[in-house]
Structure 1
Amino acid sequence: MDIILVPGFWLDASSWSDVTPPLVAAGHRVHPLTLPGLESKDAPRAGIGLRDHIDAVVAAVDALEEPVVLVGHSGGGAIIHGAVDARPDRVARAVYVDSGPLGEGGVINDELPAEGDEVPLPPWEGFEDADLTDLNDELRAAFRERAIPEPRLVTSDRQQLHDERRYNVPATVIACEFPSSLLIEWMESGHPFVAELARIHDVDYVDLPTGHWPQFTRPAELGVAILAAVDRASKNGQN
């Protein structure tokens, strides 16, 4: 199975490096992406928006012959959902890592402090305690060293969706900050945060208790969780 890995804000393809070994060992082909504007700390970011990131994922899907599994972390969840909407017949499963699908008209996070055309990684004080669970001083220093400013428009552009067949694509949510039981409770109560997720017909939940960056705090366990989701897609006859 081809697995396309989409990082969240401030991260490039290398952020998945400790997650992919179990996927590769199982014989799968991994395609971690570096999205436009995230190529380096000095890369130009002006004019790069959410649609550019979605289009980059769609191009990666189109470059492969077989159906794929899309994996999106954090803001990458909104991006892979846009790709699912664009290619619902090419995605065997969407995997949301401490994230979820972003519905029509939503924005990923337009409250992050911007500097011109980019949004640098904020100080740790700008995050909730739950975000930082298990992210010790060493991991924080390594993350800040590798962090690349996010194109500002990606954080604030509105999601545009067109194909309701996206709801037929199976999904897996790997819940880290919030337990899956809470997500289900929110859906049952009609919470707008999970409104788009509630419309997907087939959703599995996996609890991986840690902070917002499991690829750093629990990478081996995250790899195993993604592998289980990929195996489910394979058993459904997509390989």
Structure 2
Amino acid sequence: MTAEKTQIVLVPGFWLGEWAWEEVARSLSGQGYAVSALTLPGRGHDDPNRAVVTPQDQADAIIAALDPSAHRRVLAVHSGAAIPGTLVIDQRPELVDHVVWVDTAPSADGSAMDPDFSSEVLRLEDRYDDELAEGSMRDLTDEQLATFRERAVPEPGPVVSTPVSLTDDARHDVPSTVVCTTFPSAEFRSYAEQGVGFLKALPDYRALTYVDLPTGHWPMWSRPEELASLLAGVAAD
């Protein structure tokens, strides 16, 4: 499989736009891959519709970015982007040859990030603060943290609170790789088997691989070359 016939779509998690993938995208583009880094609906700095954007709106944007003419399409979703990402492989599984879950996991039918969330938007400072710098934000430099806080935008409230409706069992056959960063794959597997929270859908996936990349929750900044290498390896399979 030649690189130029392979598309890699990079979708950032909550609060982030395409800029978050800059280093990874540059590395993959340099290897000849067709790279599409996305800013999802509701993530623009001055998006007037932010408060009403839904998971389906974001899923539609991902579907629109996937190139049906590519010989191979890899979809990489980070963190909260797993919500629209799961809708994509449920609704259009034929468009995704491999999905990479970056420190996240596919959503379960009927689940929401926080079904009780009632605000119009979720702000970065509502979820993360300096006390987490040595956990989820491990390995980020002071400059990266400052850029994160400066460029983060509020996440649309409906994306946080709306349960996803999934209907097509074919999504479970889409080859998938889970990149485990904030805790190791052994714990991912154990928690998934116990049906814990956002990991409970993983045992239903029939072509699943786990990869360890020890760092914080944002490996596109803390381990960009390693993450790019991992994605290139998936794309080349």
Give your verdict on TM over 0.5.
yes
From 19, 29, 32, give the equivalent of 1:14.
19
The offset of 1:172, in angstroms, is 0.5
Amino acid at match of 2:44: E
The offset of 1:26, in angstroms, is 2.3
Once the two structures are overlaid, the 10-residue window that deviates more, 45-54 or 94-103, is 45-54
Unaligned 5+ runs, structure 2: 1-5
Q: When the two structures are superposed, what TM-score results if normalisation uses the length of structure 2? A: 0.89
Deviations 1:3-57 (A, max 9, x none): 1111100101111011123321222100111111112245431311111111111
From 61, 65, 70, give the equivalent of 1:60.
65
For 1:150, the equivalent position in structure 2 comes to 155
Q: Secondary structure at the residue paired with 1:132?
A: coil
Percent of aligned positions that are identical: 37
From 118, 123, 138, give the equivalent of 1:120.
123
Q: Is the 8 A contact 2:10 2:37 kept in 1?
A: yes
Q: Secondary structure at the residue paired with 1:37?
A: coil
Q: Is the 8 A contact 1:71 1:77 kept in 2?
A: no
Q: Is the 8 A contact 2:10 2:76 kept in 1?
A: yes
Structure 1 distance, partners of 2:221, 2:50, is 25
Q: Secondary structure at the residue paired with 2:192?
A: helix
Structure 1 distance, partners of 2:189, 2:27, is 29
Structure 1 distance, partners of 2:115, 2:227, is 28
Show the 5 A alignment for 1:1-239.
1-41=6-46, 43-61=48-66, 63-66=67-70, 67-109=72-114, 114=119, 117-122=120-125, 123-125=128-130, 127=132, 129-232=134-237
Unaligned 5+ runs, structure 1: 233-239
The offset of 1:128, in angstroms, is 7.5
Q: Secondary structure at the residue paired with 1:69?
A: strand
Q: Is the 8 A contact 1:49 1:151 kept in 2?
A: yes
Structure 2 distance, partners of 1:12, 1:91, is 21
Structure 2 distance, partners of 1:17, 1:128, is 22
The offset of 1:167, in angstroms, is 0.4
Q: Which runs of 4+ in 1 moved over 6 A?
A: none
For 1:235, the equivalent position in structure 2 comes to none
Q: Is the 8 A contact 2:115 2:163 kept in 1?
A: no
Structure 2 distance, partners of 1:128, 1:158, is 30
Change (3 A) 1:149 1:125: same
Structure 1 distance, partners of 2:96, 2:202, is 16
Structure 2 distance, partners of 1:214, 1:109, is 24
Amino acid at match of 2:212: D
Q: Is the 8 A contact 2:117 2:161 kept in 1?
A: no
Q: When the two structures are superposed, what TM-score results if normalisation uses the length of structure 1? A: 0.88
